[in-house]
């Protein structure tokens, strides 16, 4: 009886991460390029509506290598709500977006939001988290005959 209890505990510990992935709907997309979109920011963090006659909203995109946890700014000052991420180095990545408020008259940066990452259930559409894996390009076939 005592041997069964530790085995069950070990199985639960190893299965828990898998269960969390299944419950959150995490998906890995294999791609060398992937377009990611997001909802436009229209309010401040307190819920008040942003007056777009006074401030503009732009976005920055990022990618984070899941092996090294290094975050890289991919593109700054995007005015739209989508971006095509292009991957040149093999690896697995999460992508992220932050928003910036800029004063229209001067272009002065007023504030920047935290980065919303694609592995965060709270910021992904319907809680469907995701990552992107780039496997690289195979070598050309040789020795044709």
**Domain residue limits, the chain:** 25-134
Structure token digits, residue 26:
């995490």
SS3 55: strand
Quick one: pLDDT at residue 143?
87
| 10-residue averages of pLDDT along the chain (145 residues) | 53 46 74 94 93 95 96 95 94 96 95 96 94 89 88
Quick one: pLDDT at residue 1?
54
How far is it, in rounded angstroms, from Cα 95 to Cα 118? 5
Q: Which single residue is written with the structure tokens 């005592």?
A: 2
The domain over range 25-134 is classified in CATH as 2.60.40: yes
Q: Which single residue is written with the structure tokens 């005959």?
A: 145
Quick one: pLDDT at residue 3?
60
Quick one: pLDDT at residue 9?
46
Quick one: pLDDT at residue 25?
74
Cβ atoms within 10 Å, residue 4: 8
């Amino acid at each position: 009886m005592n041997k069964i209890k530790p085995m069950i505990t070990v199985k639960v510990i190893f299965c828990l991460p898998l269960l969390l992935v299944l419950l959150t709907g995490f998906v890995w997309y294999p791609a060398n390029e992937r377009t990611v979109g997001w909802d436009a920011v229209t309010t401040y963090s307190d819920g008040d509506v942003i007056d777009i006659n006074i401030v503009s909203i732009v976005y920055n995109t990022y990618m984070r290598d899941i092996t090294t946890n290094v975050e890289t700014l991919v593109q700054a000052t995007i005015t739209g709500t989508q971006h095509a991420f292009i991957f040149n180095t093999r690896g697995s990545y999460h992508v992220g977006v932050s928003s910036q408020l800029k004063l229209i008259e001067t272009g002065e940066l007023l504030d920047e939001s935290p980065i919303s990452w694609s592995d965060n259930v709270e910021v992904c559409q319907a809680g469907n988290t995701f990552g992107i894996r780039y496997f690289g390009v195979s070598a050309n076939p040789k020795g044709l005959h």
